[in-house]
A and B are shown apart, each in its own frame.
Chain A
């Protein structure tokens, strides 16, 4: 229910009613002034019809229940829903309006079907790039058949979120992460070396300590094998979104930030599924954080935080971000920084983070696909500008590589580069 709104407040005359009242009053006046009874007969239905619509319609806002879900995969987004009305509301008297959320485009007009006491609908949208966005609630109003009066339907639909991100992120949770802090209730062994329950044997990494090598298994297989423990299988990861404006302009910045939020959500979900602990930081003027935690509740926390991410108007300094991060997160936690690297200012954030002890990997969504999709110059000039922009971006990425590994995210529907980089031994950025 839309709590606090009385049923009387929801009643509204439509513009057509005012037209009829006005025409009826004018006709009545003409009939009296010109002494022509025909005008009075004309006025009578015009004045009584809106009153009849008010009297004979529902006396309070109709109530309904909405069951809906997001369907489809990859770029195709389908929202199917069923609205069930309480008697005596007739679904044919209901007008329902849908709005397309930002980041999605409408492929076809909505399909609406009315049967019995139900109204069913299917919305056909498509996502041109990864997106995490809430679906706006449909607006349903009861309108009398002549379109004279209306009452909004009162309901409390469950929030629905469209989540679309590159498919490779489903498997990114299998990447092994460093553990930085003990889990609640966990007592770390005082002995040197790995602790916890033995889980299995795996191929040894090049930098594997000798204590962890399983020499018997190595002799049997002919290559270096290492023991793996339960605790090693989970780790901590921090996702840091740079929400400061750049020289690209607010529109492009907002699109890139939405892309970053979608990717961050996909990464977080995958790691949380693997029981890892995930933290989130959004840096605009100040740092907003979701501290490290695991489980389903953390998934909801991160999703809610990502849905609120907006570009800031007053960018904060790089050092403030690094300092603030140390207040909330332990050093050593693997950090993925989402930054467009569109100007030098955003590039300087990485060395500050490294100095504060965060091994950083930069995931940089490129603005070039967005900019080339909106040409403003001739074809030749556009090509030249695109080549120059590519050179500048390569240079900036190369400079950032001096401080941390960078994934250039050009194809928005693929993040295989990031998964490969994180799987690589000794890949989690350079430590302090």
Chain B
């Protein structure tokens, strides 16, 4: 059954994304009114994205991520250099990827099917954040090593999935 316009626009991932973006805004160092205006601006961009996605036109549907990205950019611009706020920006960006997978025009359960697509960026954000804030400053090379290790693991997964890369062409004659 085709979902209603509200159902098409108001996805669970959009709610999560808007909440994360609001948390980012409330972590900013702006004054009360400016913070409220920023929050309204970010919510407006999210609403714009949702409305574009619910629109019948294909071109509008394709441009839906643009206002949402703008909203995230606005929120990130005012984020102070604080560990929790930065982590929230990263998680909001991951929620944005999950929102892309939660498309009402495609078969259901997109977020579950695309779990690997958003969990890999989540891993990258987690590693970057942990190496920046959880490790002592003297152990920065350890963070770099952790990043390299993660990259190696990704390459390994890629190579294991493509065994034909190790195959060599057989001789032309016996």
Distance to closest chain A CB from B60 (angstroms) = 13
Per the bound structure, the CA–CA distance linking A419 and B110 in Å amounts to 58
Could you give, for residues 261-274 of chain A, a 1 whenever the CB lies within 8 Å of some chain B CB and a 0 otherwise? Answer: 00000000000000
Within 8 A of A (CB), among B76-97: 76-77, 79, 81, 85-87, 89-90, 92-94, 96-97
Within 8 A of B (CB), among A192-219: none
Per the bound structure, the CA–CA distance linking A274 and B52 in Å amounts to 61
Per the bound structure, the CA–CA distance linking A45 and B128 in Å amounts to 11
A45 touches B97 (CB 8 A): yes
Checking B79, B97, B107, B154 against A55 with a beta-carbon cut-off of 8 angstroms, the contacting residue is: B154
Within 8 A of A (CB), among B99-137: 100-101, 103, 106-111, 113-114, 116-118, 120-122, 124-125, 128-129, 132
Chain A: interface secondary structure? helix
- Which stretch from B40-48, B155-163, B166-174 is at the chain A interface? B155-163
Checking B111, B118, B129, B162 against A41 with a beta-carbon cut-off of 8 angstroms, the contacting residue is: B129
The winner among A20, A23, A30, A45 for most chain B CB atoms within 10 A is A45
Checking A15, A45, A95 against B90 with a beta-carbon cut-off of 8 angstroms, the contacting residue is: A45
Nearest CB in chain A to that of B28: its residue: A38
A52 touches B94 (CB 8 A): no
B117 touches A41 (CB 8 A): no
B69 touches A52 (CB 8 A): no
A92 touches B107 (CB 8 A): yes
A145 touches B79 (CB 8 A): no
Distance to closest chain A CB from B105 (angstroms) = 10
Per the bound structure, the CA–CA distance linking A148 and B96 in Å amounts to 13
Contacts of A248 in B (CB 8 A): none
Number of B interface residues in the complex (CB < 8 A): 47
> With A16-B62, A41-B125, A55-B154 in contact, do A146 and B114 touch (Cβ < 8 Å)?
yes
Q: Tell whether A126 is near chain B: CB-to-CB under 8 Å.
A: no
Q: Tell whether B65 is near chain A: CB-to-CB under 8 Å.
A: yes
Q: Tell whether B18 is near chain A: CB-to-CB under 8 Å.
A: no
Per the bound structure, the CA–CA distance linking A143 and B94 in Å amounts to 19
A45 touches B125 (CB 8 A): yes
Checking A38, A42, A144 against B117 with a beta-carbon cut-off of 8 angstroms, the contacting residue is: A144
> With A38-B86, A44-B93, A59-B162 in contact, do A145 and B114 touch (Cβ < 8 Å)?
yes
Could you give, for residues 53-88 of chain B, a 1 whenever the CB lies within 8 Å of some chain A CB and a 0 otherwise? Answer: 000000000100110010011001101010001110
**Closest 3 CB pairs between A and B?**
A145-B114, A45-B121, A41-B90
Some 23 contacts from A to B, beta carbons below 8 A apart, are A19-B65, A27-B76, A30-B73, A30-B77, A37-B132, A42-B76, A42-B89, A44-B124, A45-B122, A49-B97, A49-B117, A49-B118, A49-B120, A52-B116, A52-B117, A55-B158, A56-B116, A56-B120, A92-B109, A144-B114, A145-B110, A145-B113, A146-B114
Question: A30-B77, A41-B128 given. 12 additional CB < 8 A pairs?
Answer: A16-B65, A38-B79, A42-B76, A42-B92, A45-B124, A48-B120, A52-B118, A55-B154, A59-B162, A93-B107, A144-B117, A147-B101
